[in-house]
Amino acid sequence: MSSSRYKIRLFKDRLFSAFAVLSALIGLSFLLLILFQVCHEGLQALSFDTFTKTTPPPGEKGGLANAMVGSFLLSGLAMLLSVPLGVMAGVYLAEFGRNGKLAMVVAFLNDILLSAPSICFGLFVYEIIVLPTHGFSGYAGAVALAFIAIPVILQTTRDMLTLVPDPLREAASALGAPRWKVVFTVCFRVAKGGIMTGILLSFARIAGETAPLLFTALNNRFWNVSMAEPMPNLPMTIYQLALSPYPDWHELAWAGAMVITLTVLSINVLTRFLTRDPSVNRI
Amino acid sequence: MSSSDQADAVMEIKNLSFFYGDKQVLKSVSLSLFGNGITAIMGPSGCGKSTLLRTLNRIYDLYPEQRAQGQVFFGGENILDPDVDTAWLRRRVGMVFQKPTPFPMSIFDNVAYGLKLYEKMPSSVLAERVEKALRNAALWDEVKDQLRASGQSLSGGQQQRLCIARALAVEPEILLLDEPTSALDPVSTARIEDLIETLKKNYTIVMVTHNLQQAARISDYAAFLYMGQLIEFDAAKKLFESPSHPKTVDYLKGRFG
């Protein structure tokens, strides 16, 4: 090979690397800017009261305790609804339906759901729950959030189970284990790290969703743990506080934004940590 | 074959054909498997030897597009009959695969996996049965102090013996081995071959192998498959020393495969 051609190649290679690194840095810098801004403003506003007091009326000091608890309850109930459904549907697609017609259709629809705008889920739940029950409620909000989580959980469960090598299934079947037992005692053990990651990521995703709650859970300025009532929640509270004319409320909105951002961030970091566990995904 | 009267057939395969979708990979194979001996199934890649083995415990059932025609008699039943309970069948016909397939659990739990499927037993009995299986698979001495360690932490050869122990634990009558040493180094291969030879006292062993020397070393009966057809089946000594079919002669001389 002539050395000039080699140099051209080397140059192209370096150019390409530099371009890739630059793109990554630009993307990352936005994330860092957001994080910096949120923490900078949030830390100033954050106090013990943020976690212990409820949303204040204009001109008074208060906190976000009701919104945090409400968000936690909404997301928790949504997970209770979506984890069993999403995981079992993923099991069906990966283990039983495989390449059957029904499985193909379900997988295709799930792809659409994955990228559907979240406000659509809110509208849908408004139609099927809020209107018939004549009121906004925590239940409606949780259902709307569950609709967002299900496709994510389904997809990761299916992908993770698809990665389990067939010889392992055959080995368990060859001992006489029925199909469901093969799935639950062998495949799940291999795929559990990945499935847990999907569940945690979907939790992180719905914890910060605002649109599906707009006309389902609505919001609530007061302390409320009854799912049948409009439910206080962080994203809607931040939205309302931020749009208000009062500086006190703006500060509180920043505190809420920081709490929610750091929560989501730590869940993401936790999932990274989980998937790095050497006992997971060994095969 | 002429010498078939010397021993009772444990399993009789009659006119077995096998299809992957529309593609036929076994063409009317008939063959008897004899007790307490090693039957080697040989042939070039793609001749259907693994497929033949996978029919004998109906593991192909996992894949809806695969189907078998013909009859395979075992324990008085035609096991290809859809009404046959595959759990019953697979308890009696164990299988070990080409690549070691330890489950992602401890060594102990790997061996106990099959046992727990069929019987409820006190943990002391379970421990005894696990030990017995590991001893039978010549693995006990190497793992007795680390039964709680992951099965996947063992070396390849140890993993394969773990899989053999797992299959032996439920005390099958027939053991199907699908190229059990092809993924292993020579030392591990020799250990597994020794093990298979000792196992034939108590089990009927059917082994698919690519390795002619291996088949000649340890088998009692040998079958040669070519393009889905059974070309020759005889006592191993006879087949290796004076094969009667020209295709077998060619194969043994290494002209194809």
Tell me what ipTM this predicted complex has: 0.89
Total domain count, chain A: 2
Shared domain for A84 and A99, answered yes or no, is yes
pLDDT above 90: residue B9: no
Shared domain for A24 and A77, answered yes or no, is no
Cα separation, B237 vs A7, whole angstroms: 65
Cβ of residue B43 closer than 8 Å to a chain A Cβ: no
Nearest chain A CA: its distance from B114 CA (Å) = 6
- Please indicate whether residue B100 or residue B2 has the higher confidence score (pLDDT): B100
Mean pLDDT, to the nearest integer, of B241-256? 87
pLDDT above 60: residue A135: yes
Return the CATH number at A103: 1.10.3720.10
Q: Note whether B90 contacts A186, CB cutoff 8 Å.
A: no
Shared domain for A70 and A197, answered yes or no, is yes
Number of inter-chain CB pairs under 8 A, A vs B: 69
The boundaries of the domain holding residue A217 are 51-282
pLDDT band at B6 (very low <50, low <70, confident <90, very high): very low
Query: Per DSSP, what are the bridge partners of residue B42?
Result: B224
Tell me: the pLDDT tens digits for A26-46?
999 999 999 999 999 999 999
Tell me: the pLDDT tens digits for A232-260?
999 999 999 999 999 889 999 999 999 99
Q: Count CA atoms closer than 13 A to B176's CA, side-chain side.
A: 25
Select from A173, A189, A282 the Cβ nearest to the Cβ of B62.
A173
Mean pLDDT, to the nearest integer, of A111-129? 94
Tell me: the pLDDT tens digits for A46-101?
999 999 999 998 878 889 999 999 999 999 999 999 999 999 999 999 999 888 89
Cβ of residue A172 closer than 8 Å to a chain B Cβ: yes
What would the DSSP string read from start to end of chain B?
-GGGGGS-EEEEEEEEEEEETTEEEEEEEEEEEETTSEEEEE-STTSSHHHHHHHTTTGGGGSTTEEEEEEEEETTEETTSTTS-HHHHHHHEEEE-SS----SSBHHHHHHHHHHHH----HHHHHHHHHHHHHHTT-HHHHTT-TTSBGGGS-HHHHHHHHHHHHHHT--SEEEEESTTTTS-HHHHHHHHHHHHHHTTTSEEEEE-S-HHHHHHH-SEEEEEETTEEEEEEEHHHHHHS-SSHHHHHHHTTS--
Look at residue B5 in the predicted model and tell me its pLDDT.
Answer: 44
Shared domain for A125 and A188, answered yes or no, is yes
Shared domain for A113 and A175, answered yes or no, is yes
Shared domain for A141 and A235, answered yes or no, is yes
A134-138, B162-166, B249-253: range with lowest mean pLDDT: B249-253
pLDDT band at B41 (very low <50, low <70, confident <90, very high): very high
Shared domain for A190 and A248, answered yes or no, is yes
Shared domain for A32 and A158, answered yes or no, is no
pLDDT band at A280 (very low <50, low <70, confident <90, very high): very low
Could you tell me which residues come within 8 angstroms of residue A21 by beta carbon, excluding any fewer than 6 positions away?
Answer: none
pLDDT band at B253 (very low <50, low <70, confident <90, very high): confident
Percent of chain A with pLDDT over 70: 96
Shared domain for A34 and A148, answered yes or no, is no
Give chain B positions within 8 Å (CB) of A177.
113-114, 117
Query: Per DSSP, what are the bridge partners of residue B35?
Result: none
Shared domain for A13 and A115, answered yes or no, is no
Nearest chain A CA: its distance from B255 CA (Å) = 32
Shared domain for A27 and A163, answered yes or no, is no
Percent of chain B with pLDDT over 90: 80
Average pLDDT across chain B, whole number: 91
Shared domain for A198 and A85, answered yes or no, is yes
Strands B93-96 and B9-20: unpaired
